[in-house]
A and B are shown apart, each in its own frame.
Chain A
Amino acid sequence: MELIAFYIISAVVVLGAILMVSSRNMVHAVVYMVVSFIAVGALFILLQAEFVAAVQILVYAGGIVVLFLFVVMLVNLGDVHRVEYLHKQWLPASVMMLVLTAEIGFLLWGDAAALPAAPERTDAVLRAVDHGNTETIGQMLYTDYLLPFEIASLLLLVAMIGGIYLAKKRV
C-alpha cells in the first residue's frame, strides 16, 4: 500500500520535473513546477513529516511559485516559438548527466542492505507518544536550534533588503 503510494507520487514528481525542464513556454513550466512541488509535499506526508509538508506547500507552491510567475510576466520574452530555448551543447550535457545519475543510482541500489530499515513512528521514538510532529519540531526549534532560527530570520531580512535594492528603478 505504502509502496504503491510512493510509486504514484514519485511518478508525478519526476514527470512534472521532466515536463518543466523540456517545456518551451515559461508559464507552462511554472505550472509543471507547482505539480512537482505539491507531489514532493505529499512525499513528506508519506515520510511522517507533516510540518515540513505544510511548509513545503505554503512556501514553495504558495510563495516561490507566485514570485516566479510575477517575474515571468514582468519580463517580456517575445515570441517563445521563434527563439532557441536550449544551449547548443544540450545533447552531450544531458547524456553526461544521465550517465552520472545512473552511476549514483547504481551505487545506491547496490548498497540497499546496508541502509537502516524503517522504525515504527519517529516521534514516538524521540519524545512522548502524545506529542505530534509539529509540537516536537516547534519545541526543538525554540530550544536546541534557537540561534540558527534567529540567524535564518536575519538572512530573510538581508534577502528582503537586497531584493528591494536590486529591483529598484536605478541600480
Chain B
Amino acid sequence: MDALGLNHYLLLSALLFGIGVIGVLIRRNAIMVLMCLELIFNAANINLVAVSRFRPDLAGQIFTIFTITVAAAEVVIGLGLVIAMFRNALTVNVDEIHLLKG
C-alpha cells in the first residue's frame, strides 16, 4: 500500500482492541482491567473518526464525543466500585472477590 488508506486505521484499531482484550483477560488487578477497557474504547474511537474522515460525514466525530462522555462516566462508576471493593475485601484482585462463591 503506498497511500494512507482507511485500512491502515482499521488495522491499528484492531491491534489496539486486541491488546486491550488481552489486558482485560490476563490482569488480576481490577484497576488495570478498567484501564484496558479504556484502550478498547480508544480503538472504537479511532474507528469512528477514521470512517468519518474517509466517508465524509461528521456524525462519526459527534458519536466519538458521546463515546468519550460515556467512557468518563464508566470510569467514575468503575473506580467507585473498586474503592468500595477495597474497603470491604481489602483486595483489588478480581479472582479473590468470591463472596457469591462463583
Residue of B nearest to A110 (CB): B7
Q: Mark A65-83, 1 if CB is under 8 A from B, else 0.
A: 0011001101101000001
Chain A: residues with Cβ within 8 Å of the partner, total of 84
Given A68-B79, A85-B29: A108 in contact with B55 (beta carbons within 8 A): no
Q: Mark B15-33, 1 if CB is under 8 A from A, else 0.
A: 1111111110111110110
Which residues of B sit under 8 angstroms from A77, Cβ to Cβ?
29, 92
Which residues of A sit under 8 angstroms from B4, Cβ to Cβ?
2-3, 6, 118
Closest Cβ–Cβ distance, residue A159 to chain B (whole Å) = 3
A:122-171 near B, CB below 8 Å: 122-123, 125-126, 133, 136-137, 140-141, 145, 148, 152, 155-156, 158-160, 162-163, 165-167, 171
Closest Cβ–Cβ distance, residue A132 to chain B (whole Å) = 12
**Residue contact B7 to A109, C-beta cutoff 8 Å:** yes
A83 to B16 Cα, complex, angstroms: 27
B97 within 8 A of A: no
**Residue contact A17 to B25, C-beta cutoff 8 Å:** no
Given A74-B83, A125-B56: A105 in contact with B15 (beta carbons within 8 A): yes
**Residue contact A163 to B53, C-beta cutoff 8 Å:** no
Closest Cβ–Cβ distance, residue B48 to chain A (whole Å) = 9
Which residues of A sit under 8 angstroms from B25, Cβ to Cβ?
87, 89-90, 93-94, 97
**Residue contact B10 to A126, C-beta cutoff 8 Å:** no
Residues of chain B at the chain A interface (Cβ within 8 Å): 1-12, 14-23, 25-29, 31-32, 34-36, 38-39, 42, 45-46, 49-50, 52-59, 61-62, 64-66, 68-77, 79-84, 86-88, 92-93, 95
The 22 listed contacts between A and B (C-beta, < 8 Å) are: A2-B4, A29-B32, A36-B39, A47-B53, A55-B68, A59-B72, A74-B83, A75-B83, A77-B29, A87-B27, A87-B95, A98-B18, A104-B17, A112-B1, A112-B5, A118-B4, A118-B54, A137-B65, A145-B62, A156-B69, A163-B80, A166-B84
